[in-house]
Every structure is written in structure tokens, then in C-alpha cells.
Amino acid sequence: MNIFTKAVHAGDRRKGRSAQIPSTTPIYLSSTYLADDAEQLDRLLGDEEPGFSYARYNNPTNAALEDLITSLEGGAGTLACSSGMMALQVALMAGLTDRRRHVLAANIMYGATMKMLHSIFEPFGVETTWIDICNLDAVRLALDEHKPGCLLMETICNPLMRVGPLDEIAKLCRERNVCLIVDSTFATPLLVRPLELGANIVVHSATKYLAGHGDVLGGLVTADADNIDVVRALARTSGPQLGPFESYLTMRGIKTFPLRMERQCQNACRVAAWLAQHPKVEKVYYAADPQHPDVAAIQRLFASNLRGAILSFAVKDAQKSDILALMDRLKLIVKGTSLGDVHTLVLYPLIASHRDLAPRQRQRMGIGDNLLRLSVGIESADDIIADLDQALS
Ligand SMILES: *Cc1c(COP(=O)(O)O)cnc(C)c1O
């Protein structure tokens, strides 16, 4: 055989080679998968037999991650996507398929999510009505007035850590056949499992706690039996899938995610308590605060020791320049536009997550120019507090 032919064929695709099963799912980079014969190929391509044929339809590394997430979240299946935003887009498109093109959306959410509804969905004729999801009566009224196809909310709202009564909202949505989509990035399946509470689709930015090490961009859509087929069909046609390398890293990250998250929640509790008594801190926003405005929902939805690992705090009498200087004084805490990593991260919503909003809109949302957000990592809480202490003084 010619060397050109051998270079392409030798080594690969030998039957009987894979008698041993790898203990950890490897990274499958192949874009195409062979069948035993043409008849099986016909069934695989027609989706009549489970298996692999083409990477846009499925990939063994992604399939392993997807099974893992489905087992963590519940639901009927998961799609691994190239980013959290892509996962949200797929979830919204699936939720609006065969439903009224109207979204009821929480009026405090991740900045890019609000922008996506404005700048991508609205031009395609999808109207959004913004509501306060912490006010159950307002949610009920809006559902009956606007008759939306979907309701979109986050389990814990960024950056003021408001928590809507997810269980009660799910009940209202079920009664009206409204597809409830929950971005549960901040809560993770360790804290809250929205599908078990009646949500239809759960979305995660895997970039955050699940992958956890600041080295992956990825998203996940987990859907119930009524919605998973639409999610899969959308993916087969448009190809939003996560790459297998990122799937592998995400799966590797998830093996330690519950351990990390537990520690991060513990640390966040200590940091929040320390900040609350600091003379330069005006207010701390954290879900373990007994004075929290959503305390009833929080107590129903969260275990008492797992209230999340993100908190925000307002610095007394601070302008933008003071906040920037404070950030520059931090030595250990990383200034980064993300959250959920093993290291503690600080973010200034004014210049980062909520930068694209008009000042008036930020004000309406209660996001002051003196507000900082901390994503607490797995370091020693004493070291995190010491760094904040020297930066605040
Ligand atoms: C980061 C984030 C997203 C977007 O995820 P990407 O992976 O950055 O695309 C969506 N929702 C929330 C709550 C997030 O924190």
C-alpha cells in the first residue's frame, strides 16, 4: 500500500482493538464514526439506533458529560454547548418552539442574558416583559396578562443575590403550560435542582462552578421529557455543541465540584459575616443573611449551610475611583470577569457584568456605583479576609 494511503489508514479503526474500557472517558476528536455495516449506518443517521455517526449529532466525550449532568440535575437529557450564553439561546429557542413568542423574564439577571433578549430575540419578533420574580403576585398577574410561552429566571440573581420562590413559580407555570427556564449557574446542582421543583429546562454556564478552574468556556442545557427532543433537534441542525476537549475538562472539574462548592459556601459565609461588621462596609448582600428580603424562599430552597459562594458588598461613601483603587490594593483576590473558580475573584459590576446597562437602569436595579461582587474561592477564609482587610483600610 502506498505511504499516502497508509498515513491516512494505519493504526485507526481496527476491530477488536478496544477490548479494554478506559476508566476515564478520553477526548474523542473524531468528527465521524463508522458503523458495522451500511444498514446500521442508515439507522444511526436516522436516529433510530443510539450511537455515534457525526460529531454534530453526538460525540462520546460530550455524551459522557451530558449523562453526568443529567444524573446530577435530573430531567430527561442534557446538551453540552459552547458557552453558557449559547446554552441559554438554545433553551429559549426550545422553550418558544410551538409556544407563544413572548418571554416573561426576571428584571435582574446576568447582563448578557438581558442583552440577548433585547438584541437577538426581540428583532426576531419575541417580545419580553420584565418582572420582579421575587413578588409572586406580580408573577401570577403577568402570567395571566401576557400569556407568555416561557418564563426565564435565575436561581440566585446577580449581583444582589435575590432569590425568587422557584417552587411556587414552577407551580404557576405548570398550571398554565408555560415553559419555565432556570439559569442555575450560581446555585449549581449541589444547592438547588430546579427540575425537581417543576422547572422544564435548566441552564448552566459550565465556565463557572462546574468546570471550576478558570480554563473552560462551556454551557449546559438539561431538559425534561417534554423539551429534550426539541433541544436535540436544534443542536443537530445548528451545531452549538461544546468541543470534546472542553467536555473532558468540564467532566474532570465536576469530579471535585461538590467538594469545592461546599468549601466555597463555608468560606463565603465567613467572609460575609466579617464584611457585615466592617465599619467601611455599608451593606452585604448574601443569601445566608437572616434579614434577607427573600428569606422565606431561601429557607425552603436551600440547605442552611449551602447558601451559595457569591456575595456583594457596598462600600460606604465610595465613588468609582475609590472602588478601582480598592481593587488595585487587593493582593490575593483576583480581578477577573468570572466566578466559580477555585480562586477568589472580585468583579465591579459597573465596569463588567452590568457595564452595558444605562446608569438609570442600574440604579433602578439597586446596583450602586459602590458595589463590588466577590466569588469566594477554596483558599483559607482567613487569607481571603486578611486581603480584604488590608485593601479596605
Ligand atoms: C457567566 C454566566 C452566563 C454566561 O455564561 P458564559 O459561559 O460566559 O457564556 C450566564 N448566566 C450566568 C448567571 C452567568 O454567571
Pocket of ligand 1 (CB under 6 A): 83-85, 110, 112-113, 154, 158, 183, 185-186, 205, 207-208, 217, 219, 339
Please state the separation of Cα 21 from the chain's center in Å: 32
Q: What is the pTM of this model?
A: 0.95
CA of 87 to the centre of ligand 1 (A): 9
56 part of the active site: yes
DSSP one-letter code for 21: P
Q: Of the listed 162, 183, 263, 373, which one is catalytic?
A: 183
229 as an active site residue: the answer is no
pLDDT of residue 361: 83
Q: How many CB atoms lie within 10 A of CB 14?
A: 9
The pLDDT of residue 357 is 79
Q: Which atom of ligand 1 is nearest to the CA of 219?
A: 7
What is the rounded CA–CA span in Å between residue 189 and residue 72?
6
Q: Say if CB 220 and CB 69 are below 8 A apart.
A: yes
13 noted as active-site residue: no
CA of 220 to the centre of ligand 1 (A): 10
CB under 8 Å to 212, separation ≥6 — which residues?
Answer: 253, 254, 256, 257, 260, 340, 341, 342
Q: What is the pLDDT of residues 191-221, one digit of tens each?
A: 999 999 999 999 999 999 999 999 999 999 9
Cα(127) to centroid of ligand 1, in Å?
Answer: 22
Q: CA triplet 187, 62, 259: central angle to 5 degrees? A: 35
Would you call 125 exposed, middle or buried from its count of C-beta atoms within 10 A (0-12, 13-18, 19+)? exposed
C-alpha cell at 215: 480554563
* Res 18: pLDDT: 59
Q: How much distance in Å is there from the Cα of 115 to the middle of ligand 1?
A: 12
Distance 110 CA to ligand 1 centre (A): 7
**How high is the pLDDT of residue 68?**
94
d(CA 195, CA 332): 37
Instruction: Provide the b/e sequence for 142-181 (b: ≥16 CB within 10 Å).
Output: bbeebebbbbbbbbbbbbbbbbbbbbbbbebbeeeebbbb
Residues of the chain with pLDDT under 50: 16-17
CB 149 within 8 A of CB 95: yes
State which ligand 1 atom lies nearest to the alpha carbon of 109.
Answer: 13
What pLDDT is recorded for position 19? 62
User: Which residue's alpha carbon is nearest to atom 4 within ligand 1?
Assistant: 84
What pairs with residue 179 in β-bridges?
A: 150
Closest residue by Cα to atom 15, ligand 1, is 185
Active-site choice (43, 47, 54, 56): 56
Shortest-distance Cα residue to atom 9 of ligand 1: 84
Annotation marks residue 33 as catalytic: no
At 40, is the secondary structure helix, strand, or coil? helix
pLDDT at 365: 82
User: What atom in ligand 1 is closest to the CA of residue 88?
Assistant: 10
Q: How far is the CA of 189 from the centre of ligand 1 (A)?
A: 16
> Which atom of ligand 1 is nearest the CA belonging to 338?
1
- Predicted confidence at residue 349, as pLDDT, reads 92
Please give the pLDDT value at position 2.
Answer: 76
Residue 200 pLDDT = 98
d(CA 111, CA 157): 11
Q: Tell me, what's the pLDDT at 15? A: 57
Cα angle 235-238-244, degrees, rounded to a multiple of 5: 60
278 CA to centre of ligand 1 in angstroms: 31
Pocket test for ligand 1, best of 110, 204, 373 (most atoms within 8 A of CB): 110
